[in-house]
Amino acid sequence: MSRLVLTNVNLLDGDSPPVSNRTIVIDGDRIVSVGSHPQGIEEADRVVDLAGRTVMPGMATCHYHSTYPSGMHEGVAPYGYEYPPGYQALIAHRNLLTALEQGYTIVVGAGAACDVDPAIRQAIDDGFVQGPRFTPSGRELSTTGHANDLLLPWYWRLPTLGAARNCDGPEAFTLAVREEAKIGVEVIKLFVTRGHLVPGGNEVMEMTRDELAAAIDAAHSRQILIRGHITGKRAIMLAIELGIDIVDHCDEMDDEVIAALAETGTSVVPSVHYPKVVAEFTEARDPDAAAEMRRGLQFMFDALPKAEAAGVRLLLGDDYGGLRLRHGDYGDELHTYVDDVGISPLAVIKWATRHGAEVISRNDDLGTVAAGKIADLLVIDGDPSLDIGLLADKNPVAVLKGGEVVSGALPG
Ligand SMILES: [Zn+2]
């Protein structure tokens, strides 16, 4: 098979500012060299002059609900029971394919219904369907009476929700984690607190210390990741201490929390885009509630540049498919981080690439453009480090997964 040689590249390697006039040589699924000029090009090589277009690593979206129905069937059924499981699998696969086409070659789950995620991951691995490199999630684990558990009338007496499972006591969490791991879930999602659009205050812990420790230990003993919806400082600090891998939302991320995150290397998905959208929507109906949401958001907007400066591993991802955020609008959060929060496009690109590969421990293979790495690459018209909107426009020139063009086309 001929090698692919990309010349006249503006390189955004996922780590550093752009460098123009690079040549990238790809052999099979791997990058074999990244250099200043074409060297050792062989007659059989396919040479593509990118005429100054940008090549960067594929991006990662790391808080993904594959089965969220994007407003379809809204309010008709409880979470995870909107459609039969087979239908939900079709929805999830369509969403994952959309993510790949928009340049997200890594997707990390944050909760999904009915065993759907592991099955799709298997189908992608088998080559039966196309899809991103996908870390499957499963049912979200909550305690009895948590907000997820109150979504449907108690007198229906359903044993569990379609996308949530109730656990009480450390043993129940251990069993639930092991059962999810057995079906192929690779990232467990816990509901540790309310807050961040889940009704209730940030400060109330809805899991005990022993439950949290048992869940984290069970996940790590099966060598899978564990993450938590955690908004209040006390719960965030406890989860960091007990070794959680990903804090979702992290609404009370003050200086002490930032220091603990930086020291331990714990990842954070701030996911501030969804509450921003909900606050805008709430404005007309309930200005007081909107103002309260804006105060919380402003705290995070002020904290994020400090966390970035401290070296916290911040990640992209949000509740796409939730009530007011549609799957496919993944680029919108890029604008939020750059335009509202004031993070530089280059830093957001690092969150989207290098950090995404690190959180799934694939940084030896993915996340940057360098010799020896797998060729999961985006070709973009223009330079996204100057204009993040170029990444948000949903249409990369080409998306390569393992050296193969899986969306768009290389020029010429
Ligand atoms: Zn979520």
State in Å: Cα 330 to ligand 1 middle: 14
State in Å: Cα 23 to ligand 1 middle: 40
State in Å: Cα 37 to ligand 1 middle: 45
pLDDT of residue 1: 67
How far apart (Å, rounded) are the C-alpha atoms in residues 204 and 183?
A: 31
Q: Is residue 273 scored above 80 in pLDDT? A: yes
Q: How many CB atoms lie within 10 A of CB 5?
A: 22
State in Å: Cα 250 to ligand 1 middle: 12
State in Å: Cα 351 to ligand 1 middle: 18
State in Å: Cα 130 to ligand 1 middle: 24
Q: Which of 287, 270, 206, 209 has the alpha carbon at shortest distance from 241?
A: 209
pLDDT of residue 263: 98
State in Å: Cα 109 to ligand 1 middle: 9
State in Å: Cα 94 to ligand 1 middle: 18
The phi, psi pair for 69, rounded to 5°, reads -90, 10
pLDDT exceeding 90 applies to what percent of the chain? Answer: 79
DSSP-derived pairing of the beta strands 104-109 and 133-135 = parallel
DSSP-derived pairing of the beta strands 4-11 and 377-380 = unpaired
State in Å: Cα 385 to ligand 1 middle: 28
State in Å: Cα 142 to ligand 1 middle: 13
pLDDT band at 393 (very low <50, low <70, confident <90, very high): confident
Handedness of CA 59, 65, 93, 330 (dihedral sign): negative
Q: What is the token pair recorded at 155?
A: 């007198």
State in Å: Cα 65 to ligand 1 middle: 7
Cβ atoms 257, 250 nearer than 8 A: yes
State in Å: Cα 24 to ligand 1 middle: 37
pLDDT of residue 167: 94
How far apart (Å, rounded) are the C-alpha atoms in residues 398 and 51?
A: 14
Average pLDDT over residues 265-279: 95
State in Å: Cα 7 to ligand 1 middle: 40
pLDDT tens-digit series, residues 154-213? 787 776 668 889 999 999 999 999 999 999 999 999 999 988 888 778 888 899 999 999
Distance from chain centroid for Cα 296: 22
Average pLDDT over residues 327-346: 96
Q: What is the token pair recorded at 382?
A: 């223009």
How far apart (Å, rounded) are the C-alpha atoms in residues 184 and 224?
A: 10
State in Å: Cα 110 to ligand 1 middle: 6
Cβ atoms 262, 312 nearer than 8 A: yes
State in Å: Cα 217 to ligand 1 middle: 22
pLDDT tens-digit series, residues 278-302? 899 888 899 998 998 999 999 999 9
State in Å: Cα 269 to ligand 1 middle: 10
State in Å: Cα 244 to ligand 1 middle: 16
DSSP assignment of 54-78, as one string?
EEEEPEEEEEE-TT--TTTTTTTS-
State in Å: Cα 318 to ligand 1 middle: 6
State in Å: Cα 196 to ligand 1 middle: 10
Mean pLDDT of the chain, nearest integer: 93
Average pLDDT over residues 258-264: 98
State in Å: Cα 146 to ligand 1 middle: 15
State in Å: Cα 277 to ligand 1 middle: 15
pLDDT band at 125 (very low <50, low <70, confident <90, very high): very high
DSSP assigned state of 149? G
State in Å: Cα 134 to ligand 1 middle: 16
pLDDT of residue 74: 60
pLDDT tens-digit series, residues 394-411? 789 999 999 999 999 999
State in Å: Cα 118 to ligand 1 middle: 18
State in Å: Cα 148 to ligand 1 middle: 12
Cβ atoms 230, 267 nearer than 8 A: no
Average pLDDT over residues 250-267: 97
Q: What is the token pair recorded at 145?
A: 């009476």
pLDDT band at 76 (very low <50, low <70, confident <90, very high): low
State in Å: Cα 317 to ligand 1 middle: 9
Average pLDDT over residues 349-374: 97
How far apart (Å, rounded) are the C-alpha atoms in residues 223 and 185?
A: 11
Q: Is residue 148 scored above 90 in pLDDT? A: no
Average pLDDT over residues 362-387: 97
pLDDT tens-digit series, residues 87-112? 999 999 999 999 999 999 999 999 99
Q: How many CB atoms lie within 10 A of CB 16?
A: 12
Unique residue bearing structure tokens 């816990």: 190
State in Å: Cα 64 to ligand 1 middle: 7
Q: Which of 317, 200, 187 has the alpha carbon at shortest distance from 248?
A: 317
pLDDT tens-digit series, residues 19-31? 999 999 999 999 9
Q: Is residue 73 scored above 60 in pLDDT? A: no
Contacting residues for 280 by C-beta, under 8 A, at least 6 apart: 290
Q: Is residue 357 scored above 80 in pLDDT? A: yes
pLDDT of residue 323: 77
pLDDT exceeding 70 applies to what percent of the chain? Answer: 97
Q: Is residue 55 scored above 60 in pLDDT? A: yes
Distances 229 to 187, 270, 283, 405 between C-alpha atoms, Å: 13, 10, 25, 36
State in Å: Cα 287 to ligand 1 middle: 25
What are 195's strand-pairing partners? Answer: 198
pLDDT of residue 72: 59
State in Å: Cα 190 to ligand 1 middle: 10
pLDDT of residue 394: 78
